[in-house]
């Protein structure tokens, strides 16, 4: 089945049936914390993973199972783990990848600010050495792999917030040759644009909160794994307890049913809005993957579907400081100035204040994140209305 069809049907109508033979058309919300069987031997077999089944909600839940089956299908993985947040999913992927590998991580220097913080403030004190470098510099990355012999590599499909696109397929080959597990945060691209496991990644990570759920009403994350790493991922999750709650799993699954259609609309809107911004006199520079002058244009042409370039746009305001940026954001009438992305409504974020707030100003400057940089997550509204709101806000001095 095609991805659009799998998004609607996978995971549903498998786990319950009433005594009269009726089957719910969507997976219900299971709130039970524990499960029992009429035969205690069966519970014993479930605990030991000899037979599938439920025993304790930290180990698994039928609602979560359905969501995990859906995400594994969409990302071409062997299985998945639904987590309490996107950051919990990153934590689980890194921990699993380094369970029996050398505790050295090569990480892209262009990552979500909270991910950078986790690597520096959580994993480094635990003895995991992290080396940051530009994953778009393939020669430097190859040399770093040879020098540091990492157990894992961590990158984003489309970097946050400057929208760089490393050569994921070639990086996966480097990781495989070195015996390292490649972890890819695919939140910005979604499975509609790219499926990293198909290209050789060991783990794909998503913030379910964003494009997949898509309605700003759920906090969650997911790790999709290849076959080699699925068992250690699930075993580790039993101990750490980062699992998603059943209500959030239900909302995520409901949102995913429409995500491909929403994403197509958002990508189409983003193309038109990025072109409009590029011609605006108040805009210094636009960062968008469909730009023919994008520094990673060759990777984008090779890796992404034609005319699907993502729904994220970043742009620099000409001669603007923090106060000017705030005036523009305060002037918005429809666009939501909120700290997230991927919702059906268009959102604007100031990276220096939110996503990369905990990164020092000097570090932000080295990454190219200036104090005049704004990021837009384009929604499904009429493009004319989005542009009209941007036009009146940018007119504010």
C-alpha–C-alpha distance, residues 397 and 390, integer Å: 13
pLDDT tens, residue by residue, 129-153: 999 999 999 999 999 999 999 999 9
The answer to whether 233 and 202 have CB atoms below 8 angstroms apart is no
* Residue labelled with tokens 């005036």: 327
Domains assigned to the chain = 3-30+61-256 (3.40.640.10), 259-394 (3.90.1150.10)
Concerning whether 272 is annotated as a catalytic residue, the answer is: no
Report pLDDT for 354: 67
Mean pLDDT (whole number) for 184-188: 98
Output the pLDDT for position 368. 76
Q: What angle do CA 341, 289, 105 make, to 5 degrees?
A: 75
User: Mean pLDDT, to the nearest integer, of 235-239?
Assistant: 94
Name the pLDDT band for 369 (thresholds 50, 70, 90): confident
Q: Name the catalytic one among 30, 59, 65, 112.
A: 112
pLDDT at 21: 77
Contact between 134 and 140 (Cβ < 8 Å): yes
Is the pTM higher than 0.85? The answer reads yes
Who wins on pLDDT, 362 or 60? Answer: 60
Residue 375 DSSP SS3: strand
Catalytic residue among 164, 195, 210, 375: 210
Per-residue model confidence (pLDDT) at position 201: 98
Mean pLDDT of the chain: 94
Is the confidence at residue 17, as pLDDT, over 80?
no
pLDDT at residue 46 in the model: 86
State the DSSP H helix or E strand holding residue 133, giving kind and residue range, or none if neither.
strand 129-133
210 is catalytic: yes
**375 and 314 Cβ atoms separated by less than 8 Å:** yes
DSSP single-letter state for residue 121: I
C-alpha 84/C-alpha 249 separation (Å) is: 9
185 is catalytic: yes
What is the C-alpha to C-alpha distance for residues 396 and 326, in angstroms, rounded to an integer?
10
Omega before 371 cis (within 30°)?
no
Token readout for 72 is 């594994």
Instruction: Tell me how many degrees the CA angle 136-140-146 measures, rounded to the nearest 5.
Output: 125
Q: How confident is the model at residue 389 (pLDDT cuts 50, 70, 90)?
A: very high
At 43, list the tokens.
Answer: 């519970």
Tokens of residue 374, six digits:
């704004």
Judge whether 322 counts as a catalytic residue. no
Residue 131 pairs with which residues in a beta bridge? 106
> What confidence tens digit (pLDDT) does each residue in 347-366 have?
999 998 766 776 767 777 77
- pLDDT for 82 beyond 80: yes
Candidates 59, 65, 164, 185; catalytic one: 185
Edge-first strand order for the sheet with 129-133 is 79-83, 221-225, 203-207, 181-185, 152-156, 104-108, 129-133
Residues 6+ apart with CB under 8 A from 286: 274, 277, 278, 313, 314, 315
pLDDT band, residue 18 (cuts 50/70/90): low
Among the residue ranges 94-108, 319-333, 364-378, the one predicted with the least confidence is 364-378
* Catalytic residue (one of 15, 58, 102, 254): 58
Q: Provide the pLDDT for residue 352.
A: 82
pLDDT digits (tens, 9 = 90+) for 88-134: 999 999 999 999 999 999 999 999 989 999 999 999 999 999 999 99
Q: Taking 70 as the threshold, does the pLDDT of residue 209 lie above it?
A: yes
How far is 334 from 221, CA to CA, in rounded Å?
A: 28
Given strand 283-287, what is the order of strands in its sheet? Answer: 283-287, 312-317, 373-377, 347-349
Q: Answer whether 103's CB lies under 8 Å from 128's CB.
A: yes
Task: Give the pairing of strands 203-207 and 181-185.
Answer: parallel
DSSP 8-state symbol, 149: -
Share of the chain above pLDDT 90, in %: 84
Q: How confident is the model at residue 19 (pLDDT cuts 50, 70, 90)?
A: low
Give the CA radius of gyration of the chain: 22
């Amino acid at each position: 089945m095609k991805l659009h069809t799998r998004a609607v049907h996978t995971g549903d109508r498998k786990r319950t049936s009433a005594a009269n033979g009726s089957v719910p058309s969507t997976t219900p919300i299971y709130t039970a914390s524990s499960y029992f069987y009429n035969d205690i031997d069966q519970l014993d077999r479930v605990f030991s993973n000899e037979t599938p089944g439920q025993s304790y909600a930290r180990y698994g839940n039928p609602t979560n199972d359905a969501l995990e089956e859906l995400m594994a299908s969409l990302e071409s993985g062997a299985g998945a783990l639904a987590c309490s947040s996107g950051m919990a999913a990153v934590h689980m992927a890194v921990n699993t990848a380094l369970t029996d590998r050398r505790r050295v991580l090569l990480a892209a220097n262009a990552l979500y600010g909270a991910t950078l913080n986790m690597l520096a403030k959580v994993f480094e004190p635990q003895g995991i050495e992290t080396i940051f470098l530009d994953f778009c510099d393939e020669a430097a990355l190859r040399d770093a792999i040879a020098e540091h012999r990492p157990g894992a590599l961590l990158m984003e499909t489309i970097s946050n917030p400057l929208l760089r696109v490393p050569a994921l397929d070639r990086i996966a080959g480097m990781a495989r040759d070195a015996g390292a597990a490649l972890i890819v945060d695919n939140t910005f691209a979604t499975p509609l644009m790219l499926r990293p496991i198909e290209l050789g990644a060991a783990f794909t990570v998503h913030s379910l909160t964003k494009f997949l759920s898509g309605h700003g009403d759920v906090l969650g994350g997911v790790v999709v794994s290849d076959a080699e790493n699925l068992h250690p991922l699930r075993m580790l999750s039993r101990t750490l307890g980062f699992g998603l709650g059943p209500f959030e799993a239900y909302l995520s699954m409901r949102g995913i049913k429409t995500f491909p259609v929403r994403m197509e609309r958002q990508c189409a809107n983003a193309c038109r809005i990025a072109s409009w911004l590029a011609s605006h006199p108040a805009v210094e520079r636009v960062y968008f993957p469909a730009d023919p002058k994008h520094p990673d244009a060759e990777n984008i042409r090779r890796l992404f579907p034609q005319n699907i370039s993502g729904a994220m746009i970043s742009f620099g305001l000409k001669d603007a400081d923090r106060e000017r940026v705030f005036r523009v954001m305060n002037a918005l009438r429809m666009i939501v100035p909120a700290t997230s992305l991927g919702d059906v409504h268009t959102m604007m974020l100031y990276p220096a204040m939110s996503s990369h707030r905990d990164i020092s100003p000097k570090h932000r400057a080295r990454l190219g994140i200036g104090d005049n940089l704004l990021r837009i997550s384009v929604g499904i509204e009429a493009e004319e209305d989005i542009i009209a709101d941007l036009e009146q806000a940018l007119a504010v001095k």
